[in-house]
Amino acid sequence: MAAPTSGGSSGIGASGPGDAVSPRVAFQGEPGAFSEEGVLSAFVAPEAVALPTWRAVFEAIQDGRVEAGVVPIERSSGGSVREVYDLLFKFDEVRIVAEVSVPVNLALLALPGQTLEQIERVYSIAQALDQADEFLRSRPWSVLTSYNTAGAAKSIADKQELGAAAIASARVAPLYGLEVLAADIQTGTANRTRFAVLAREQLPPTWFTPATQAGPLKTTLVWAVRNVPGSLYRCLGCFAGRNINLSRLESRPSRGVRWEYVFWADMDSDPAAPDCAAALAALLAEAVMVRVAGVYHRAAED
């Protein structure tokens, strides 16, 4: 059946979200991570809370230890972050309440006094290493993966590791006493990550920056089709027949039944609009499960 378009029950902390002056917003990684930039880009005056994993962010929201969380949901150069969609499916009380788009500008960081010629090893997450592949191929470095961009920088600082560098945001350098050996090492200039703001209920608009509220409304849906010929075709026809655009569509394993899938879509419409409401009603009649995972404004981009 369809879930509510806004979050479920209250229960975030001891007080409602409107009572908090500085909302607690969780992100995955260390201070200086791009996910923290997502927090700072989405909220006016947040208390950013660093957690080790994306699952930990979802758990903190569900348990009421934070008012919201920010997780990467799509990379312009790497596509959807599928693990996050799997967590959205599992934690069905957590909703997308906003989104923000953050430019990803990468830098090579190392201990003070180190030079490019002294670097032998470069650490970062796989996505950042891929985004800086052209720069990395210019020298015979050993390339090693880390769990987080800022975490790679912190590890080098903590260990005082000579001959090592991290790929991360340039703003990470002063946080951990490192220096920027090379700036803007990413390939191209249009590299961005779209971050979803998660919560169990709608949050006060005053908490958000203008960038999260400037665009038109969009809706994120997940549904499961019947295992019969043409079911997906008929589901998509619910939108096409009413001239509703799906700006993104992909499938993920259901995790409940082997070789069965659920479909995620971003719908460029407000579910309260008559045509959209009719499309959702038709989808409910065709699909075996429909859930609205979020209604929010499309993120503004520079």
Least Cα distance to 297 among 237, 211, 225 occurs for: 211
**First vs last Cα of the chain: how many Å apart?**
38
Torsion of CA 254, 258, 261, 262, to 10 degrees: -20
**Catalytic residue, candidates 34, 195, 239, 263:** 195
Compute the distance between CA of residue 68 and CA of residue 88 in angstroms, rounded to an integer: 14
| Under 8 Å between Cβ of 119 and 110 | yes
Q: DSSP secondary-structure letter at 200?
A: S
Q: What angle do CA 94, 100, 102 make, to 5 degrees?
A: 130
Question: Cα separation of 250 and 248, whole Å?
Answer: 7
CB 299 within 8 A of CB 211: yes
User: If you ran DSSP here, which 8-state letter would residue 152 be given?
Assistant: H
Please tell me which residue in 149, 193, 219, 220 is annotated as part of the active site.
193
193 is catalytic: yes
Amino acid making up residue 263: F
CA–CA separation, 97 and 91 (whole Å): 14
Residues 29, 193: Cα–Cα separation, whole Å: 15
Does 212 participate in catalysis according to the annotation? no
Measured distance CA(116)–CA(293) in Å, rounded: 46
Q: Around Cβ 255, how many Cβ atoms within 10 Å?
A: 12
Dist CA 119 CA 110 (whole Å): 8
**Residues paired with 70 in a beta bridge:** 197
Q: Which two tokens stand for residue 123?
A: 């650490």
Q: Looking at the annotation, which residues are catalytic?
A: 193, 195
